[in-house]
Amino acid sequence: MANEDEVKVLGFWASPYSLRVLIGLEEKGIKYEYVEQNLGSKSSLLLEMNPVHKKVPVLIHNGRPVVESIIILEYIDEVWSNGLAFLSSDLYDRAMARFWVDFIDKKLIIPGLCIIKSKAEEQEEGKRQVIASLAILEETLKGKDYFGGNNFGIVDITFAPLICWFHTYEILGDFKITFENNFPSIFFWMKKCMERESIKKLLPQQEKVLRMVMRFTKRSSVSEA
């Protein structure tokens, strides 16, 4: 695709969904303009570009919006097909990658939100589910550099933004995940991800995420995990 492409992203700095899109663009080396959104008071641009869900992220490519983070990542992969491919050309591998992307959305992010937002009982279930899902992801990653094998791909991009969220899960859920001991493959994968320029540049500090969540959920104090 030519340089005259105009690419804009409407996002929120801590949103794992927004971060996916930005990591994808950085990994492909695509120039883009980032427009931070105030989710408490949505801009007319956001409402115009995502009238159905009114959520970030939105990718605006030459004036036309694409929404839903995974749909955006696949769009980026198809439009800018040179260089790093987010999805393998093998149809079976593509199906498997899509399975794990969906798994991360449903079985890791949603339970993580339960830890942050819910009261005792649901919070316990959220913690149980996060640990169970990490155990499953640990098994699938074992012996590999990245989820797709040797190459950083769509499953890695989907999961990577959570690296800066686990601390918040631990503090607000009052539990410890202890990646190094319990999920060593994920622990090494995280270290490898954090060495990538895209992720180094984009992922916010975990303490900053925690402070934002505490402000947002109006918690004034938490017990130390």
- Chain residues binding ligand GS8 by CB under 6 A are 12, 15, 17, 39, 54-57, 68-70
User: What is the nearest approach in angstroms of ligand GS8 to the Cβ of residue 58?
Assistant: 9
User: What is the nearest approach in angstroms of ligand GS8 to the Cβ of residue 154?
Assistant: 13
Other CB atoms within 10 Å distance of the CB of residue 167: 16
Per this entry, what is the length of the chain? Answer: 225
12 vs 103, which CB is nearer to ligand GS8?
Answer: 12
Output the residue with the shortest Cβ distance to ligand GS8: 55
54 vs 191, which CB is nearer to ligand GS8?
Answer: 54
Q: What is the DSSP letter of 90?
A: S
Task: Tell me how far apart the alpha carbons of residues 92 and 208 are, in angstroms, rounded to a whole number.
Answer: 39
User: What is the nearest approach in angstroms of ligand GS8 to the Cβ of residue 175?
Assistant: 22
Burial class of 187 by CB neighbour count within 10 A (0 to 12, 13 to 18, 19+): middle
User: What is the nearest approach in angstroms of ligand GS8 to the Cβ of residue 57?
Assistant: 6
Side-chain half-sphere exposure of 89, counting CA atoms within 13 A:
3
Other CB atoms within 10 Å distance of the CB of residue 3: 6
118 vs 185, which CB is nearer to ligand GS8?
Answer: 118
70 vs 154, which CB is nearer to ligand GS8?
Answer: 70
